[in-house]
């Protein structure tokens, strides 16, 4: 309906083991300072329109935020720009932590 897919924590683990993907954290600097998912790049949602050209279209792109709302906006934005392999992490980083997955420090 919106041109992107939803993925849960287990699905993200599957993408990680399957190979190449891009994981993007769209939260604020303050939120990211409390921890992020390992191997994620930080791109605050408000900067997405000016940084979209740097996001590869040839691999899956997974967005996450605190609970899934802002990352869904990011997914819809990319889908509208023609990206076809875009995923929203269900429940955001909170869902990730609820499933027992670890956080990493911002690199």
Positions annotated as catalytic residues are 65
Q: Which residue has the tokens 């990680």?
A: 16
Phi then psi for residue 53, to 5 deg, are -65, -20
DSSP assignment of 28-65? -HHHHTT-B-TTPEE--GGGHHHHGGGS-SSS-EEEE-
DSSP assignment of 77-96? HHHHTT--SEEEETTHHHHH
């Amino acid at each position: 309906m919106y041109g992107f897919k939803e993925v849960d924590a287990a699905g993200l683990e599957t993408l990680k083991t399957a190979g190449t993907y891009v994981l993007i954290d769209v939260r604020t600097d303050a939120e990211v300072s409390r921890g992020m998912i390992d191997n994620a790049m930080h791109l605050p949602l408000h900067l997405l329109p000016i940084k979209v050209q740097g996001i590869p279209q040839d691999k899956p792109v997974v967005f996450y935020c605190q609970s899934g709302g802002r990352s869904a906006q990011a997914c819809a934005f990319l889908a509208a720009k023609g990206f076809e392999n875009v995923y929203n992490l269900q429940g955001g980083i909170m869902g990730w932590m609820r499933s027992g997955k670890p956080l990493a420090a911002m690199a």
